[in-house]
Chain A
Amino acid sequence: MARWRLTSSAPLVPHVADAGDRAVGEFMDPVTVWDDGTMLFSVKVDVTLREGVADPQGATIERSLPHLGFDGVRGVRVGKSIHFELESTDASSARREVDELCARFLTNPVIEDASVTIGETTSSPVG
């Protein structure tokens, strides 16, 4: 079933290289390299409520801040951040895939927007 062959002993999933310094779950650059020109991209999708859509969580946080002495904080909006890796042949097809993924699943376009960050983490072939 596997289409790809691993050319190094690097793990498929990024691991915490130095757990002493980095919190588990922290977003890391993956280290996997494939031998057929496929690249692995690190993707970060930030999902936020669209402008004009009421954000009761953000409003509640904003109202709480002055009680803690933080005055002057405005426009609090709460969203979610989704991180993953994606195998793709090049940056533009990676982008297309992520955009479709966002539109069909990761966001509800009625109320949410996505902002996407894609980083190319490896080039190949290696080894």
Chain B
Amino acid sequence: MAARIGVVLFPGSNCEHDVIEAVRLLGGEGQICWHGDDHLGDVDAVVIPGGFAHGDYLRPGAIARFSPIMGAVSEFAHAGGAVLGICNGFQVLTEAGLLPGALQKNRGLKFLCTTVGLRVETTNSILTNAAEVGQVLRVPINHFEGSYTCSEETLAELRTQDRVVLRYTDNPNGSVDDIAGICNEGRNVVGLMPHPERAVSSLLGSEDGVVLIESLLSSASVSV
């Protein structure tokens, strides 16, 4: 049976249909989960998509984390369900405490809209289990507050526990240790700033996101 991916829609999200299209293209089913609901429905994995949830007021993700659906997302994550936060979704997951650290304004204060190289650092995550370590993927970024930052202790933990999932080959935003994506201790919650859902067709300029979305789909069918 096709993996059912719930895509959380906040007021201000704007990548939800890109995610659903990418999921469908690769044989999964996508459905919107409204932020005001306190349940996810019947889904095998959850994606928090990019955009500007609640206008990014106060801080990106600061208000989104209080949306009713986030309680259900948190429960789903704690039960081992696959949860992926893309771009603004990564910011929401850090604010919600499901991933450590924070995303800050880019070094250089530029809004970045370009394609970057990502090196796969571990295949032990819901986003990279179909990839290979060392593989370099061309994936778009589209953000202003994407500079990953965390305490020294957190960084040491991420490194020793092999929780840096993806690194930039050429750091575009000042992220500490070139970090583009990380996972939680359970390896079932992943956040990344780049947009794999926008790299699933050569018509979009790259198909390198396919392996990442496929990883998510295969994680979805085995979790919870």
Contact = CB atoms under 8 A, between A and B. Distances in A.
Interface of A: 53-54, 56-57, 60, 105-106, 108, 110-111
Contacts of B95: 108
A108 B62 contact: yes
Interface stretch (B68-76, B101-109, B180-188): B101-109
A56 B102 contact: no
A62 B150 CA distance: 25
A105 B57 CA distance: 12
B102 A108 contact: yes
Interface of B: 58-59, 62, 66, 94-95, 100-102, 104-109, 147, 149-151, 174
Contacts of B151: 110
A60 B109 CA distance: 8
Contacts of A110: 94, 100-102, 149-151
B93 to A, nearest CB: 13
B193 to A, nearest CB: 16
A56 B147 CA distance: 11
The 10 closest A-B pairs by CB, nearest first: A110-B102, A56-B109, A111-B102, A56-B105, A108-B102, A108-B59, A60-B109, A56-B107, A111-B149, A111-B104
Contacts of B66: 105
Given A110-B149, A110-B151, A111-B149, A57 B109 contact: yes
Nearest to A105: B62
B107 A53 contact: no
A56 B108 contact: yes
B102 A54 contact: no
A111 B105 CA distance: 11
B104 A106 contact: no
Given A105-B62, A110-B101, A53 B149 contact: yes
A108 B99 CA distance: 13
Nearest to B61: A108
B152 to A, nearest CB: 10
A77 B179 CA distance: 25
A54 B150 contact: no
Nearest to A82: B58
A57 B105 CA distance: 9
Contacts of A106: 58
Contacts of B104: 53-54, 111
